Chain A
């Protein structure tokens, strides 16, 4: 049985499909002959054109889930479709907050396994081989699913490139959310957006990140200043996010953002595997750390053994002097 139909969870943010969903649609076209998208929220109609531009022939529109936390109702709608006989061979889900919730729910509703942290997918005959991280990304496992389909994969951001493939406007099919009782009682009361100026962390060409080696929250300002001078974005290790120095939206790594900029500058970051997994795809890496044995140096193209609180201010001064 070959791979025919591939579904992609097309999550929408700010009126557009999130970039990981577009990456997955591109991969889906290579994997199967029919690519369909499942989407929800008030803006699905607005994104249908964009989805068609990525080769989608049908959009399943779950509609506006209102203030419900989406994981359970979206999974229930998809499970309903599958149980009614509309069964894809593969279901691709982006590694996002809601994507992971949908995946966990869907897996239990369909009683089918799910593979998470996927960074590679290949069709071999009528099987799919996946690659996923273990031990914080230090190891990569190749796996294959067998048995009943759909095979569900939760894929990390930037594992594949997004390429459009213009086609006809997709057909839109609306899908009901079945009544799932108590499961669907988590409600979003309010949303808080932490302001960030400059380019977005996961899209910036330069990312400057700070870690515990900065020595204090007040020193993070120089990370932001350096990022600004290089027209980049400021990132962080989890240690300083947990310590409350910077908001979570700055976190790079396994539980934070995946970045692949032209240049990544790590300042006072040790280079734990869970941090590396989010940034080692950067084209160039510079690290500043006072410990010459810090693991971050093993991935750095240029390593500076020194005190961040001395090197970074001088770097900022030199950049300013150049104008």
Chain B
């Protein structure tokens, strides 16, 4: 059972706002961390490989500057190895170009199952994993809140507007998981030590046989012309409850003629 988990390494969301004023793309320089959204996928992959009684989890990531700090976190959780694609030519890649790179890298691991998050924390296009599935010629099941495997089939409880659907799909397949699918483990000290010597295969665009003109800024067919703060609402009245603040709410409801 070979599981690939796609993990995005992102700037710490606690320190956001990193947009290149020139290119208007997200700047991903400096130390990156494992996207919290992907910690769920790593845990799910580890559990499924364990349950299958063998096999391993390979991480696949595309990131600038051979960044590995986020990968080390996922390796410390228990993933066996990683494939990292890093290349200056990839700067400014849109979701489809990212998917092309990830698909080529994933092929190298010949997985039975590919796991990604439903959406990343910074870009949150939510389309990359489905694009990857199409490029790999695989079926995909998105928005999984529960995943299990039996006889070469993946069973998924998939969120819907009104509840959830039970979906089955033969392997190999791409599954995207939501937060809450499993509780990610914290890396142990032993895990953190072991992660330091786990293999990270570092590849460039040409290693993957991809034409550099089709990815990154060169291949992007969308241009971000402006980035601004979202329209702000202004704060109104604030009262500190001293036992009767509910009366303020009642008066507000009356003003709105809701009661």
Binding site for B on A (CB under 8 A): 13, 69, 71-72, 75, 96-97, 100-101, 103-105, 107-109, 111-117, 129, 133-148, 154, 181-194, 205-206, 230, 238, 241-244, 247-249, 254-255, 262-263, 265, 277, 280, 284-286, 292, 297-307, 310-312, 314-315, 318-319, 322
Smallest beta-carbon distance A309→chain B, Å = 11
- Name 7 interchain pairs, CB-CB below 8 A, sorted by A: A108-B130, A134-B26, A138-B229, A139-B19, A186-B167, A286-B252, A318-B247
Using a CB–CB cutoff of 8 Å, the interface residues on chain B facing chain A are 13, 16-17, 19, 24, 26, 94-96, 99, 118-119, 121-131, 133-135, 137-143, 145, 158-170, 173, 178-180, 220-233, 235-241, 243-250, 252-253, 256, 258-259
**Smallest CB-CB separation from B180: which chain A residue?**
A242
Residues of the A chain whose Cβ atoms lie less than 8 Å from the Cβ of B121: 136
Q: Which of B96, B223, B248 contacts A108 (CB 8 A)?
A: B96
Bound form: Cα–Cα A15–B164 in Å: 19
Interchain nearest-CB distance for B131 vs A (Å): 4
The answer to whether B224 touches A141 (Cβ under 8 A) is yes
Measured between alpha carbons, how far is A312 from B249 in the docked complex, in Å?
A: 10
Bound CA span A72–B258, Å: 45
Chain A residue nearest to B125 (CB atoms) is: A116
Chain A proximity of B51: nearest CB distance (Å): 20
Enumerate chain B residues within 8 angstroms of A146, measured Cβ to Cβ.
Answer: 221-223
CB contact under 8 A between A109 and B134, given known A135-B13, A135-B122, A300-B236:
yes
Contact of A113 among B95, B164, B243 (CB under 8 A): B95
Q: Which residue of A lies closest to B160 (CB)?
A: A97
Please determine whether B163 and A286 come into contact, CB atoms closer than 8 angstroms.
Answer: no
> Are B166 and A140 in contact (CB-based, < 8 A)?
no
Among B166, B235, B245, B256, contact of A192 (Cβ-Cβ < 8 Å) = B166
Interface class of chain B by DSSP? mixed
Known: A113-B222, A189-B165. 6 other contacts (CB 8 A): A116-B126, A141-B227, A142-B228, A182-B170, A193-B162, A311-B241
Q: Which residues of A are found within 8 Å of B222, using beta-carbon distances?
A: 113, 115, 143-146
Closest chain A residue, CB of each to CB of B250? A318
B140 to A97, Cβ gap below 8 A?
no
- CB-nearest residue of chain A relative to B143? A97
Query: Of residues B127, B142, B229, which shows the largest number of chain A Cβ atoms within 10 Å of its Cβ?
Result: B127
Check B223 against A315 for contact (C-beta < 8 Å): no
Contact B241 A139 (CB under 8 A): no
